[in-house]
Amino acid sequence: MTIELYRYRAQGDHDYMDLKILLDKFPVIKETKAGFWIDIHSLKYLKGKPNIQTKKWVPKDTDRGFAHSTEAKAMIKFAFRKKTQIRILKSQLAQAKAERDKINEMLTKANIVLSPKLKIY
């Protein structure tokens, strides 16, 4: 019987009309005391790239692994990855807004008026 590990990922275009949540299944090549070597050649972004390694080591019994032993664990970890992604993006957006406000303040102090096309909102 072949052991598989699982990882969920999102796929779709930028308007989210065709958003899909996909389950990737990775066959275990070798099991070690501490983890698994899995075959990741099926990942779409690796196809046609001959110099990319197609196996990956995944630790056992960890919450931080690339792939997980059950579909349920993989789904939970996907949700946590999305939560982390949202937190990071919110922080980056706040930073960008603060930088925009600062540069607008500097432009005002320097009496620089931008044309509507260049306006920084």
pLDDT by residue for the chain (121 residues), tens only, comes to 689 999 999 988 777 788 899 999 999 999 999 999 998 876 655 556 665 678 899 999 777 889 999 999 999 999 999 999 999 999 999 999 999 889 889 988 999 888 777 666 6
**98 phi and psi, to 5 degrees?**
-65, -40
Q: CA-to-CA distance for 55 and 50, rounded, in angstroms?
A: 13
pLDDT value of position 17: 80
Element (H, E) at 98: helix 71-109
pLDDT value of position 121: 65
**CA distances (Å), origin 56, targets 51, 81, 105:** 14, 19, 49
User: For residue 101, what are the domain limits?
Assistant: 4-118
pLDDT value of position 114: 80
pLDDT value of position 52: 66
Total structural domains within the chain? 1
